[in-house]
Amino acid sequence: MEFPFSINQLFPERVSILDQTLVAGRKTTGAPHLQANIETVIDELGRASAKAQQLPASITSASKLQSQRHQLYLLKDGESNGGRGVVVGFLKVGYKKLFLLDHQGSHVEAEPLCILDFYIAENLQRYGHGRELFDFMLQHKKLEPVLMAYDRPSPKFLSFLAKHYCLTPSVPQANNFVVFEGFFVNRSVAQ
C-alpha cells in the first residue's frame, strides 16, 4: 500500500506498535502533519480491511484507535516505493470481557486478548507477511494463539490459523467470537 508521503519517516521500525496516542515509537507525536499522515494510513488500512471482509463499515480507524484501548501492529516494507516504504498490513488486538460456552455448556467469564482486525494488502497476501506480523504480536504479548479469542474470523483467517498454528474451532459461541480447542484447558494456566 503506497502513500504520497514517506512511510519510513512515519514508521521507523519494520513493525510499529500504535496505541491510543497513535505514536509510532516516539516519545512525542511530533509535527502535526506527521500525526495527520499516521491517521490517513490507519483510516486507509481500516477501509481496505473492511472491503476485503465485505463489512458494511470499517472496524479500524484512527478515531476508533484513539478512543479504545486497543493496540495496532503495523508492518511495513521499507525498501519499496523508491525507498519511501509501503505499508504491508496490520493486526489489531485488545482485551474484551466475554461470556463463553465451555464443553459442558456452562458460561465462563473471561477477558482474553482478542484479535479484532487483521489485514495484509491484497497483492502481498500468501507471502508469509501475515505470519510474520502474527508471530511478532505473540512474542510481544508472550502469548500462545490458543489462549486468545477471535472476533468473527474470516474463512482466510481460519485457514491461516489452521495452517500455521494447527488451531481447530472449539465449542460454537453465542456471540461473534471464536475460541479454539485448548482454550478452556489452558485458560487456568494463563490467568
The whole-angstrom distance between residue 108's C-alpha and the CA centroid of its chain comes to 25
Backbone angles phi, psi at 49, to 5 degrees: -65, -45
Please tell me the chain's helix, strand, coil percentages from 3-state DSSP, rounded to the nearest 5.
35, 25, 40
C-alpha cell at position 89: 498490513
Q: Which is nearer to ligand ACO, 68 or 154 (CB)?
A: 154
Give whichever of 62 and 116 is closer to ligand ACO, judged by the CB atom. Answer: 116
Closest approach, Cβ 117 to ligand ACO, in A, equals 5
Instruction: Please report how close the Cβ of residue 48 comes to ligand ACO at its closest, in angstroms.
Output: 9
Using Cβ positions, the residue closest to ligand ACO within the complex turns out to be 130
**C-beta of 31: minimal distance to ligand ACO in Å?**
31
Which residues of the chain form contacts with ligand ACO (CB under 6 A)? 49, 52-53, 115, 117-120, 125-131, 150-154, 156-157, 159-160, 163
| Cβ-Cβ contacts under 8 Å for 102 (sequence gap 6 or more) | 108, 171, 184
Nearer to ligand ACO, 157 or 184 (CB): 157
State phi, psi for 108 to the nearest 5 degrees.
-115, 130
Our CB check for ligand ACO shows the closer of 54 and 106 to be: 54
Find the shortest distance in angstroms from Cβ 77 to ligand ACO: 12
Rg, the chain, Cα only: 17
